[in-house]
Structure 1
Amino acid sequence: MNATTKASFDWTLPARDYCDPALYQRERKEIFARNWMLFTWSERLKAPGDYVSGTVAGYPVFAIRDDDGVVRAFHNVCRHRGAQLLEKEEGHCGKLVVCPYHSWSYTRSGRLNKAVDFGEGISFDPQAWGLYAIDAEEWRGLIFLRLERGGESLVEWLGPIHDMAADYPLDRQHYFTSKDRDCAVDWKTYGENYLECYHCRTMHPGLCESMDIDSYRIDTYAKEKFFHLHAPKRDGGLTRGLYFYRFPFLMLNLYDWGSSIATIEPLGPGRIRHINWYFFTDISPEKAEENSRSAAWSAQIVTEDLDIITGVQRNLEAGIYTRGPLSPKYEYAVKSFQDMVREGLEPKEPLRGVAAE
C-alpha cells in the first residue's frame, strides 16, 4: 500500500543542498554575484568621500560617494599586495583612498593616484591599475551593489516592484534602528520559510491577531523572480501595506508611516546574517517609543522564525531527513523559489568583474 495518496505534489530540494560547501561556492558565483544585493542606505553617504564598507556574498567591498555625488563601489582590496583599504564600517576618506599597508592611493572614482616610492623608472597606468569596480545604484534611498558588472539596471531588476511601490514614501523615511543576527541557517532555508504561511497559525500568534490569515496569499512572478505577499490587516489595522520578496533574498515591507527592509548576507553553507533595518516617516523623540514598539514587534516575528528553522537546519545536516513533500495549497511559492534556485545554477556565460585580472 502506498504511503501517500495519488494526488500530485512536488518535493523539496535534497537536504544536502542546504549544507554542501561545493554547491555554496556555485551559488556564490552563479546566483549571488549576478543579482543586485542591498548593501546600505543613502543617508550614510551624504557627502563626497563618505563611505560604507562590508561584505557581499563573502567579498569585502565598499561604497563611496564620488566628487560628482555619484555612488561608486569597489572590492575592498589594494591592487599592490591585497591589503584591506578601508577598515572601518563607515567614515570619510578625504580626497583619496589610501592603503594602510604601503600607502598606495586611489581617487574616489577608483583610479590609481600614486604607487608611493615604488622604484625608479617604474610607472603604472592609473586606469589599468585602478580598484576592482563593482556596479552600484541607488533606488529611493537604498543602495544596491552587483558583483558581476553589466546586465540589467537596478530598476529593470526590480521589475514591477518599482511601479507598485511608487506611491509609498520610502525615500521620505529615515533610518531608525536595525537588528542584525548571525544564524546557523542556510539562505534557502530562510527564503522558503518566508514564502509560506502554512506555519503561521502555529508559530506566529501575534501576527495572526493582526492579520486576516484566511485571506493570506502569495502571488508568484516566476519570470521577474519576485513574490507579492498579500497580508490584509484585521479591522482596526494601522494602514495599508505592501510586501515583496525579490529573489534571492531582498525583503521589502512598505507602509505609509514606515518600512521594514531586510536582506540576507550568506556567510557559508548553512550560515547567514539576517539584516533588518527599520525606517519611519517621523523619527522625532516624541515618536521614539512608538517606533521602538513597532520594530520590536516585527523583530519578534523574525525571532520566532529563526528559532524553528535553526532546528530545521540541524536536521537537514544530520543525515536522516532527505527530502519532503510540498503542499500545493500552501507551499506553491516555495516550489517556485526552489525552481529559481535550480535555474540560477544552470550553466551560463563566464562571469565578468568578480575576479578580474
Structure 2
Amino acid sequence: MNAPAQSLPAWMYTDQAFFERERATIFRTAWQVVCHLNDIPEAGDYQAFDFLGEKVLTVRGDDGEVRSFHNACRHRASRLADGNQGNCGHRIVCPYHAWSYGLDGRLANVPRWQGFDDLDKAEHGLKPIEQEIFLGFIFVRFESGLPSVAEMMAPYAAELAPHCPPDLIPQGRVTLRPRPVNWKNISDNYSDSLHIPVAHPGLTRLFGPTYGIEAAPWVDKMWGDITEAPSANWAERNYQALLPAFDHLEGRDQRRWNYYKLWPNVAFDVYPDQIDFMQFIPISPTETLIREIAYVRPDARREAKAARYLNWRINRQVNAEDTVLIKRVQDGMESSGYTSGPLGPSEVCLKSFAEKLTGLTGVTAEAAE
C-alpha cells in the first residue's frame, strides 16, 4: 500500500528565509489582479496596487486604452498616485518636483527652471509593467515565466464567461483585511473541502451533499448547488427563496456557487447574483492582507438586491468562521508538536498546491529537517 501524500511542513509557514525564496521564485512571475476595466471607466481614472515592495499604477488613457506602470517617478522615485484609486486628469504629475507624464506613460514635461535642457524625454517615461486583461479583469506581473492568465484559466474560461459580461460594475470599494497568518494557510483553507461540513454549518445547509472539488494544472475549483430544502437560518432561507433567475445564466448556474483559485494567491467567488475576487497578499511569514471587492450586473429588481445583501450576510459569517480556523492552524504550525500531516484522497487541491510550491521554489519538504 502506498503511503499517503503529505502536506507541506510547518516550517514553510513560519520561516523568513523561505518567505524570501517564495518572493523571488513564486511571486515575481505570478499574475496579480489589480481591478476590473469598469473600475477605471474614464480617462485619468486609476487604480494603485502595492505588492511585496512593488507599486503598480493602472490608468485609463485619453485613447481609452488601459496601461500599467510602476508607480514611481523616473526622477527621484517618488510615488506618483496616492490612495487605492482616483482620477489624475490628463497628466500624472509628481508631487515632489512636478515632473509630469501623459496617460500613456511618456514624460510630458520637466519644469524648465530645473535645468534638464538636454534630458532625452523619450528615455525617461514611466516604466511599464506586463499586463493582461482576462474577461474584463486586469492582471499584472513583474517577470515573465508562467503561462498567460488565459492559458492558466483555460479549463474554466467557457463556464466563467457568462458570469463576466462587459457591463459588470464594482459593488463598493476594495476591502483590505489583515490576518496574522502565512498566506499559504489562507490559500490552503480556500481549497480545503474537508472542513466544510465540520466548520461551516451555513454552507452545509445551503449545499447539502453537492459540494465538489477538483484541481486543474493552475486552477483549483470548488462548487456547491443551492438546495431547495429551506434552511433553518433566516438569511439562508430567504436567499434560497428570493434568488431570482438571471438571463445571462443557464441551467444549474442559476443556483450554483463556484469558487476558482488561480495559482498562487488569487481567488474568484462566482455566484449567480455577483462575482468577487479575493487576493491573499503576503506581508511577512506570519502576516497576510486579504484584498477583495465584489462586482454585479446592473439589475434594479428588488429580488436581485435582496439576494446580494443576503449573500453578503451569509459570507460574512463564513469569513468569520474561516478567520478563526486559519489562526488555529497558524498557531499549530508554530508548535514543536507538528511537522507535517497526511493528505486524504479527496485533498487533491492541497496535493497539487504542495507539488507546485516545492517544484517552483526548488525546496523539498525535508530541507529544514
> What's the counterpart of residue 334 of structure 2?
317
Matched, 1:269 2:277: no
- Do the aligned residues in 2 keep the contact of 1:134 with 1:149 (CA within 8 Å)? no
- Do the aligned residues in 1 keep the contact of 2:74 with 2:126 (CA within 8 Å)? yes
Q: Are residues 196 and 153 of structure 1, via their aligned partners in 2, closer, same or farther at CA, if it must alter by over 3 Å?
A: closer
Structure 1 stretch displaced more, 113-122 or 73-82: 113-122
> What's the counterpart of residue 190 of structure 2?
194
> What's the counterpart of residue 3 of structure 1?
none
Q: Are residues 264 and 297 of structure 1, via their aligned partners in 2, closer, same or farther at CA, if it must alter by over 3 Å?
A: same
> What's the counterpart of residue 357 of structure 2?
341
Aligned equivalents of 1:311, 1:34: Cα separation in 2: 30
Q: Are residues 125 and 153 of structure 1, via their aligned partners in 2, closer, same or farther at CA, if it must alter by over 3 Å?
A: farther
Q: Are residues 176 and 95 of structure 1, via their aligned partners in 2, closer, same or farther at CA, if it must alter by over 3 Å?
A: closer
Q: Are residues 153 and 319 of structure 1, via their aligned partners in 2, closer, same or farther at CA, if it must alter by over 3 Å?
A: same
- Do the aligned residues in 2 keep the contact of 1:170 with 1:259 (CA within 8 Å)? no
Q: Are residues 117 and 241 of structure 1, via their aligned partners in 2, closer, same or farther at CA, if it must alter by over 3 Å?
A: same
Q: Are residues 167 and 263 of structure 1, via their aligned partners in 2, closer, same or farther at CA, if it must alter by over 3 Å?
A: same
> What's the counterpart of residue 294 of structure 1?
311
Q: Specify the SS of the correspondent of 1:127.
A: helix
Matched, 1:130 2:125: yes
Which amino acid letter does the alignment assign opposite residue 137 of structure 1? E
Where in structure 2 are the equivalents of 1:167-316 lying within 5 Å? 167-177=162-172, 179-213=175-209, 215-222=210-217, 225-235=218-228, 238=243, 239-282=255-298, 284=300, 286=302, 287-316=304-333
Shift of 1:207: 0.5
- Do the aligned residues in 2 keep the contact of 1:135 with 1:150 (CA within 8 Å)? no
Aligned equivalents of 2:272, 2:200: Cα separation in 1: 24
Aligned equivalents of 1:114, 1:263: Cα separation in 2: 36
Q: Are residues 203 and 91 of structure 1, via their aligned partners in 2, closer, same or farther at CA, if it must alter by over 3 Å?
A: same
Where in structure 2 are the equivalents of 1:47-86 lying within 5 Å? 47-86=42-81
Greater helix content: 2
> What's the counterpart of residue 350 of structure 1?
none
Structure 1 stretch displaced more, 183-192 or 277-286: 277-286
- Do the aligned residues in 2 keep the contact of 1:257 with 1:282 (CA within 8 Å)? no
Aligned equivalents of 1:121, 1:89: Cα separation in 2: 32
Shift of 1:247: 0.9
Shift of 1:246: 1.3
Q: Aligned-pair RMSD on alpha carbons?
A: 2.4
Q: Specify the SS of the correspondent of 1:210.
A: helix
Which amino acid letter does the alignment assign opposite residue 133 of structure 1? P
Count of residues in Structure 1 that have an aligned counterpart in Structure 2:
338
Q: Are residues 77 and 165 of structure 1, via their aligned partners in 2, closer, same or farther at CA, if it must alter by over 3 Å?
A: same
Q: Identity of aligned pairs, percent?
A: 29
C-alpha deviations, 1:295-316, integer Å up to 9, x for none?
1212321221121111211221
Shift of 1:263: 1.8
Q: Are residues 247 and 97 of structure 1, via their aligned partners in 2, closer, same or farther at CA, if it must alter by over 3 Å?
A: same
Aligned equivalents of 1:282, 1:67: Cα separation in 2: 26
TM-score, scaled relative to structure 2: 0.83
Q: Specify the SS of the correspondent of 2:124.
A: coil
TM-score, scaled relative to structure 1: 0.86
Aligned equivalents of 1:148, 1:218: Cα separation in 2: 31
> What's the counterpart of residue 15 of structure 1?
10
Shift of 1:118: 6.6
Q: Are residues 119 and 62 of structure 1, via their aligned partners in 2, closer, same or farther at CA, if it must alter by over 3 Å?
A: closer
Q: Specify the SS of the correspondent of 2:166.
A: helix
- Do the aligned residues in 2 keep the contact of 1:182 with 1:273 (CA within 8 Å)? yes
